[in-house]
Structure 1
């Protein structure tokens, strides 16, 4: 290979990532430059060559497969951009859309960005309070949704609601199917809301068109995407993982991506992986657990070569399932909507050893440390706060972690997931992972519950098909204590039908903590 002509996408090895990854090498992957760049052009228009090549495969929950080409999306996005101009939409106006993956979704996403307007994807399962908070915050000029959600959207004052149906698609077809983008690289492109409760609106994370370039480090080394992959990401594109890593990153490389529309079903996902011969999947930890719990994985054949996950750690039992089912390691990638992806496991690198349960090592160009309360680096195996070097100073990630002797990072929970009981410091994540090894535990969440004697005690919420009993509780307590330490076990166990989750699929421990705090407050009155 002529290394002077090679691009970052030509390299797959860890050593090459360390040697060749740079800002200039990233920009070489794009048509735009540091002054003028447009996400829609990079992801869609430049790949629309008249061949009808697939851009997105949509696996619908009802069993349908829908395949959209680069040509289709490029033409529709251009027509929609002209329609926005005709409707007096100005640069920096917000265009919100609450749609499942579909032709209208991608037409709206990319069409708005071509005009210089800001795309605001919204989760389709938002209720009235959650939707109103976000609309009041970003103040979109137009909110586009489907017929089912239109009545809900129209309850919000001050926003024009447009239904994305065949009528809209027919209306925009009278406009030209090409459009000259109007943006600079520094212009805003996307407002992204993280998944919070309806009472606590997370601030919108604001992304410029240039974000697509910096994102590519995470795509190359977090999901391992390369031209030629058949990619799939079942996460909703309303959230950071589904939008940036599942949609924009692969499309920017000209890679056909796949996604899921409708109520998630693990068996339906696995059928799509089989039917489309998917070679590379990036999913949330919850998706893998649901595949394991479905019991149907043995009914399918897979062509998977690379796997990645994000959102939260995967328990050892699910990691074993992944290895047995797909025969490749599950590569964690760690980050947040606010800071991006900063720790990865380099899927597809034959000179990199994936350690089960590890967050991996830093993305090229990033610097992270595990630090104690005084800001000093922790020794291997010692839990501290995960810190990121940014803007010439250390910034907290609000997560706990540890490193091993080889420099791999391990997640030890959110800072507020540490449980201090009677002077003992325990990790909720570690106790959860241990309990999930029990054959009768399908899902588990652990928190610190208020206790008048110990301050906090470990409480586990368990999803199981086995009948609840005192005998079962004692069995779980003994099982956990014998694998961890005599003090590390759930003194309280509550059996539940399901665990509260954020819209992005993460276990929502804060809801559980708030419930227990409210119960304790009632008892003291």
Structure 2
């Protein structure tokens, strides 16, 4: 662990005060070098793919590959403060690529394979990226936009150099990509030294530009300094992953299922796994419940972090058919419903613990070790961060039971360092006492937070403030409902009413053969059910059955599109 004696204090609602400070010289690249010196033969990464083949990398391997790639990047012309995009699936060299780029002083710009070509163009142009590292299977996402972006060099992971020689030379004089240099990851590493004499990087230097998922508009470029990863070491590790100075890593295997292009990759595989010196599993393969359960069993995973959708699918499998040794089950991305929590608890004897945060932050609210988990709750404010709930319009805390906006003091070290070259966004989000997350919650008398949706998603009906998640959570507990999204729908008398978009479960299609006379009858039954499950004023007065819901590339529901649709219909 890299936990230092501390001198600074950060107020926290849940524990009064917590002491923690980040040494100026602490960076992830220095941490890896220290780990390699102290326990270089410890396995850092156990990689497995769909075919079952495995590969391991020790901390000494990571240090050496980090230095070799950094030397190679410098030779290609990558300099301090350059922006290096990356686009690859789970891969055994993922850490070497990220660490090597950071060692040069460049800023990482992670991208997900779930993005579209236009998204790559937007990000590269917006941040001025000059280099991209892309897996050979994803080059079709990059190649069409090269002439429209500042990208000067393309490094292909798992690529054959002979396939890219002509691309760098240009196939004809009119080729728009003549100035783009193509090479491969292996060529960049070839012959490079495992010693690297690069620039001095410290905790206050810029590290990454992580784009938000674009739930409410265009993705925003979130700038983080190197201290962000050290914050995860001090916050996410003990208060979510249940890792501290006493953890015996010989008896632990971590697995975070997140993709390499998301901020969550920095939250866990890098920010917790690498900073603490743990051994972690990386699996490259599509999610299949039975496959994941088999991996949990055969690999001996002890700490699992997955998204709610995966937990829901796992909970519907035969959990008792596998000998799983999980001691900590973590969930993030959106609140986890009660039903999968109860099924996993019954089968594994472990209660999944939600953690809440954003691309802009560390874990702000968690069901941290030592507190009881309340089904449906996000948990309590993470010690040392200062998370609270404030009025939607004023910078004042709200009382228990009231819906407000989750917020963090702007001087908390647990939040980001602004939006990259977007001073107007900084002024909007960071110029007052609190950084407002845009997410709504209410606090109960015991201090537990309950998610209520995005601030833009709040529904005001006849003077009542209604958060969509409580309604959605109740809806999906009905056997007929597979998925639901709730928004406000304009109404002449009430201002707005609750409107639910519902995807039916597989065995429900509204026909007489499936036990329902028609969708109108099912709608009535759902409304009756909801009046019993929630406060009567919260039930959906309008229900629309649909085959799909609009979502971001990270799988979050874009309620903004549904609201716009309702406004066009009833506004």
TM range (shorter): 0.7 to 0.9
| CA distance in structure 2 between the aligned counterparts of 1:428 and 1:63, rounded to whole angstroms | 42
Where 1:343 maps in the other structure, the secondary structure is strand
| CA distance in structure 1 between the aligned counterparts of 2:16 and 2:532, rounded to whole angstroms | 46
How far does residue 375 in structure 1 lie from its aligned partner after superposition?
A: 4.5
Are residues 1:128 and 2:107 paired? no
Task: Identify if the C-alpha distance between structure 1 residues 264 and 367 changes in structure 2 by more than 3 Å, giving closer, same or farther.
Answer: same
Q: What corresponds to 2:354 in structure 1?
A: 332
Task: Identify if the C-alpha distance between structure 1 residues 246 and 360 changes in structure 2 by more than 3 Å, giving closer, same or farther.
Answer: same
Of residues 362, 377, 393, the one that matches 2:397 is 377
Of residues 496, 499, 515, the one that matches 1:459 is 499
Task: Identify if the C-alpha distance between structure 1 residues 47 and 64 changes in structure 2 by more than 3 Å, giving closer, same or farther.
Answer: same
Task: Identify if the C-alpha distance between structure 1 residues 19 and 255 changes in structure 2 by more than 3 Å, giving closer, same or farther.
Answer: farther
In terms of mean alpha carbon deviation, does 307-316 or 443-452 score higher?
443-452
Deviations 1:217-256 (A, max 9, x none): 1222122234423111111121111222233321111101
Q: What corresponds to 2:307 in structure 1?
A: 284
How far does residue 298 in structure 1 lie from its aligned partner after superposition?
A: 3.5
Where 1:103 maps in the other structure, the secondary structure is coil
Structure 2 spans left out of the alignment, 5+ residues: 6-13, 161-183, 412-431, 511-518
Structure 1 spans left out of the alignment, 5+ residues: 9-16, 28-32
Tell me if structure 1 keeps the 8 A contact 2:136–2:159.
Answer: no
Tell me if structure 1 keeps the 8 A contact 2:92–2:282.
Answer: no
In terms of mean alpha carbon deviation, does 264-273 or 327-336 score higher?
264-273
Task: Identify if the C-alpha distance between structure 1 residues 470 and 260 changes in structure 2 by more than 3 Å, giving closer, same or farther.
Answer: farther
Task: Identify if the C-alpha distance between structure 1 residues 61 and 457 changes in structure 2 by more than 3 Å, giving closer, same or farther.
Answer: farther
Where 2:57 maps in the other structure, the secondary structure is strand
Q: What corresponds to 1:358 in structure 2?
A: 377
| CA distance in structure 2 between the aligned counterparts of 1:56 and 1:510, rounded to whole angstroms | 39
Where 1:339 maps in the other structure, the secondary structure is coil
Tell me if structure 2 keeps the 8 A contact 1:332–1:357.
Answer: no
How far does residue 476 in structure 1 lie from its aligned partner after superposition?
A: 1.2
How far does residue 45 in structure 1 lie from its aligned partner after superposition?
A: 6.1
Tell me if structure 1 keeps the 8 A contact 2:134–2:157.
Answer: yes
How far does residue 52 in structure 1 lie from its aligned partner after superposition?
A: 4.6
How far does residue 63 in structure 1 lie from its aligned partner after superposition?
A: 5.2
Where 1:235 maps in the other structure, the secondary structure is coil
In terms of mean alpha carbon deviation, does 44-53 or 222-231 score higher?
44-53
Task: Identify if the C-alpha distance between structure 1 residues 263 and 454 changes in structure 2 by more than 3 Å, giving closer, same or farther.
Answer: farther
How far does residue 333 in structure 1 lie from its aligned partner after superposition?
A: 1.7
How far does residue 81 in structure 1 lie from its aligned partner after superposition?
A: 0.7
| CA distance in structure 1 between the aligned counterparts of 2:75 and 2:3, rounded to whole angstroms | 43
Aligned pairs for 1:450-489 within 5 A: 450-463=490-503, 464-465=505-506, 466-468=508-510, 469-489=519-539
| CA distance in structure 2 between the aligned counterparts of 1:516 and 1:434, rounded to whole angstroms | 22
| CA distance in structure 1 between the aligned counterparts of 2:533 and 2:109, rounded to whole angstroms | 46
Deviations 1:265-291 (A, max 9, x none): 333222222222111122222221232
Aligned pairs for 1:54-69 within 5 A: 54-61=43-50, 64-69=53-58
Task: Identify if the C-alpha distance between structure 1 residues 63 and 459 changes in structure 2 by more than 3 Å, giving closer, same or farther.
Answer: farther
Equivalenced residue count is 496
Tell me if structure 2 keeps the 8 A contact 1:56–1:67.
Answer: yes
Structure 2 length as normaliser, TM-score?
0.80
Task: Identify if the C-alpha distance between structure 1 residues 18 and 520 changes in structure 2 by more than 3 Å, giving closer, same or farther.
Answer: closer
Q: What corresponds to 1:210 in structure 2?
A: 227
Deviations 1:156-214 (A, max 9, x none): 223122211254344213111232452122221211112126x9432211122222222
Aligned pairs for 1:340-355 within 5 A: 340-347=362-369, 349=370, 352-355=371-374
| CA distance in structure 1 between the aligned counterparts of 2:64 and 2:3, rounded to whole angstroms | 32
Of residues 522, 544, 556, the one that matches 1:506 is 556
Tell me if structure 2 keeps the 8 A contact 1:260–1:269.
Answer: no
Q: What corresponds to 1:22 in structure 2?
A: 19
How far does residue 518 in structure 1 lie from its aligned partner after superposition?
A: 4.1
Tell me if structure 2 keeps the 8 A contact 1:114–1:180.
Answer: no
Are residues 1:251 and 2:235 paired? no
Structure 1 length as normaliser, TM-score?
0.86
Of residues 158, 162, 180, the one that matches 2:155 is 162
Task: Identify if the C-alpha distance between structure 1 residues 270 and 501 changes in structure 2 by more than 3 Å, giving closer, same or farther.
Answer: farther
Where 1:320 maps in the other structure, the secondary structure is helix
Q: What corresponds to 2:437 in structure 1?
A: 397
| CA distance in structure 2 between the aligned counterparts of 1:175 and 1:472, rounded to whole angstroms | 66
How far does residue 444 in structure 1 lie from its aligned partner after superposition?
A: 1.7
Q: What corresponds to 2:167 in structure 1?
A: none
| CA distance in structure 1 between the aligned counterparts of 2:365 and 2:211, rounded to whole angstroms | 22
| CA distance in structure 1 between the aligned counterparts of 2:209 and 2:397, rounded to whole angstroms | 35
Aligned pairs for 1:2-41 within 5 A: 22-24=19-21, 27=22, 33-34=23-24, 36-41=25-30
How far does residue 92 in structure 1 lie from its aligned partner after superposition?
A: 0.8
| CA distance in structure 2 between the aligned counterparts of 1:425 and 1:155, rounded to whole angstroms | 47
| CA distance in structure 2 between the aligned counterparts of 1:190 and 1:517, rounded to whole angstroms | 38
Are residues 1:265 and 2:288 paired? yes
Tell me if structure 1 keeps the 8 A contact 2:304–2:329.
Answer: yes
| CA distance in structure 2 between the aligned counterparts of 1:61 and 1:444, rounded to whole angstroms | 32
Task: Identify if the C-alpha distance between structure 1 residues 210 and 251 changes in structure 2 by more than 3 Å, giving closer, same or farther.
Answer: same
